[in-house]
Chains A and B, each alone.
Chain A
Amino acid sequence: MNGLFAGLAAGLRHVGKLTIDGIWRLGFATRFMFAVLLASGQSLTRIHLTIRELYFSGVLSLLIITVSGLFVGLVLGLQGYDILQRYGSADAVGVMVALSLLRELGPVIAALLFASRAGSAITAEIGLMKTTEQLKAMDMMAVNPIARVVAPRFWGGVLSMPLLAALFSAMGVFGGWLITVVVIGVDDGAFWSQMQAAVEFDYDVLNGIIKSMVFGTVVSLIAVFEGYDCEPTAEGVSRAITRTVVTSALAILALDFVLTSFMFRG
């Protein structure tokens, strides 16, 4: 009987510790976010730092975004054609491809790829800097590591995400066009004209861009925070990278639901 109570107490203690740790981390993350925003003025005046990060998170993600967008478009075109031709409306395949890419798949998949391609790299870099005490050394030389290291990476991610999502959607539409018009033989004029009649810039395109901006901000913030907050060991860095990818994916999918329910209620 005594052993049972002891086990129960230990379990409760564990749950309590996890809860307090989680809330503690959340508070630290919030304070960290404000510190990054406060320090970002400095990183925008020394723009070459941000340009460098734009290269690492934006340019180096170009290939995976382009190729994935193309394949997603190809699949959407095939599936859309297969379903729509049963109802005799294969011409509307362009509408289906464009709307599903612009509203959902473009921002979401681009953000997921961005989190695993660029977000993990940011976490690894900052985590390793912390492990090798470079951040501490900077602090000692009166260089603010948040302004010098964290803020440029954050802004590089925020700026490159909408462009990558737009590129993903454009490549997807091109892929859908390639498979349905060129390979299957849907009418070219009907494909584009139906798409243009159904897709509106200030509703579908703009809301997609807003989504990708939100995702870019969230993923960049998670990536820099996990790197900055990691345990300064080899194992800690690897765990922080895993957490970046997992937390980002969950945040993207949950936020996507919230944003969609605000934006597209019909």
Chain B
Amino acid sequence: MMSRTALDLWVGIFVAIGFAALVFLAMKVGSFSGINGSESYRVEAAFDNIGGLKVRAPVKSAGVLIGRVQGIRFDTDSYRAVVQLDIDKRFEFPADTSASILTSGLLGEQYVGLEAGADVEPLKEGDRLMITQSAVVLEKLIGQFLFDKAAEPAAQ
């Protein structure tokens, strides 16, 4: 009987260490994103071009993470990309908030940046953001630059 309690002690230590490692991984290594389906509201925004935006990309306002991209689909009526954004319930935005697709750093991932407007009405579930700015496409930027260069001598 004595040996069995010693065995139980070791198994208890093993299970405790295993769960401690799990808690460490959950709390210290990863952070609970804290943004789950139940605590968020969903709004839509249509963009001419979303560049390299991916599902689950961050939604930020003033650099702070406030939500995630839930889905991206192509609207065949307007030929634009419709991006669904899940925004944390704690953060309320005016109805005329604008969305733009930005890049973190020079080579970083793309995210959706929200800029608050001045409307007194708050954004509600299912609303659509009216003012959007597309992702910067490098080819278009270079094309524009070359076009401007070519136009310069003619102006003089």
Task: Please report A residues at the B interface, Cβ cutoff 8 Å.
Answer: 48, 51-52, 54-55, 58-59, 62, 98, 102, 160, 162-164, 166-167, 169-171, 173, 192, 195-197, 199-205, 209, 266
Contact = CB atoms under 8 A, between A and B. Distances in A.
Given A163-B19, A201-B32, A169 B7 contact: no
Of the candidates A98, A171, A201, the one having the most CB atoms from chain B within 10 angstroms of its own CB is A201
A164 B18 contact: yes
A170 B28 CA distance: 10
A58 B31 contact: no
B13 to A, nearest CB: 7
Q: Is the interface of A mostly helix, strand, loop or mixed?
A: helix
Contact of A169 (B11, B21, B32): B21
25 contacts: A48-B4, A58-B18, A59-B11, A160-B14, A163-B15, A163-B18, A164-B18, A166-B22, A166-B25, A169-B25, A170-B24, A170-B25, A196-B31, A197-B31, A199-B29, A199-B30, A199-B31, A200-B30, A201-B30, A201-B31, A205-B25, A205-B26, A205-B29, A205-B30, A266-B54
Nearest to B33: A200
Chain B, interface size: which category? Answer: 20 to 34
A173 B10 contact: no
Nearest to A48: B4
Contacts of B32: 201-202
Contact of B14 (A54, A102, A195, A205): A54
A199 B20 CA distance: 18
